[in-house]
Amino acid sequence: MKKLMILVLMIGMALPLFAEKLNLGDPSLVERFGMNILKDKIDLYDPDEFGLWVLQHDYSSKYQKVRNDEFELDDAKKWAFDKYKQKLEKVKPIDKNAEYHIYLGGVRFGKYDFKEKRFPLIGALEEGSYMQYKGKGKIVNYYNRSKLIFDNATSDVNFIPMEKAEAKKFLKSRKDKYGNVDRNLIAHYIYTLKNYEQINEFQPGRSLMTIKFEGELKSVEFMDKKRKKIIEKIEFANLDGNSTKVGVPN
């Protein structure tokens, strides 16, 4: 399968309008997934090893005081492990019905296809596409090594159908005074998560977690980046070629 790396617009910087919507581009959210995974298996870890890691990372001043007294250190490790379990219990659980959002930059519409009467789209999600995300580096790796894949991504929706007269008018609306055409768009995807699991396991003091997310696309809006108008909207539940087109500039 072809793998496609995509540029993601950072929420709160490029699109403040959508800042409150769930997006795995937020390392804190990815970290919360990792904490929930850890919460379900915390009792499988060696409490002595885990407690020492917590003590060294979260309570370093306490560790410095007890590290040379093995009896105090043993008690402190038990205390730290229990504190961490209490912390995990307070982590907000994952809403299995939540919708997540992706905003892709780098999407462009190509030259008009006069035979098919449509603009092809370049840089949108297609078969084999995936996204890479990072955590905060406490539990989930802070490099972009956690992966989101989609089982229903397809290139069959990556075009904007328009009759010739309408397409000519649309293209003209994207031209500047020098005749340059702005072909850049934003693709706004909404999806749900079918599953998530750790691939690289978290090992205290040795390795950070990476997560595999499995998503199912619900819809995509191809938006005019400058005007923030929706040019084309597709529902993935209906892939028979029908789509809803709104907001084409006059």
The model's pLDDT over 107-118, given as tens digits with 9 standing for 90+, comes to 999 999 999 999
* In the predicted structure, residue 3 carries a pLDDT above the cut 70: no
Tell me the pLDDT band of 227, cut-offs 50, 70 and 90. low
**Separation between Cα atoms, residue 58 and residue 76, nearest integer Å:** 12
The 10 Å Cβ neighbour count of residue 84 is 22
Residue carrying structure tokens 């098919």: 116
How much is the pLDDT for 226? 64
Nearest to 27 by CA among 130, 138, 101, 129: 138
Q: pLDDT digit string (tens) for 110-146?
A: 999 999 999 999 999 999 999 999 999 999 999 999 9
Q: Where do the structural domains in the chain lie, given as residue ranges?
A: 16-36+95-235
DSSP code of 21?
S
Q: Which SS3 state, helix, strand or coil, does residue 150 take?
A: strand
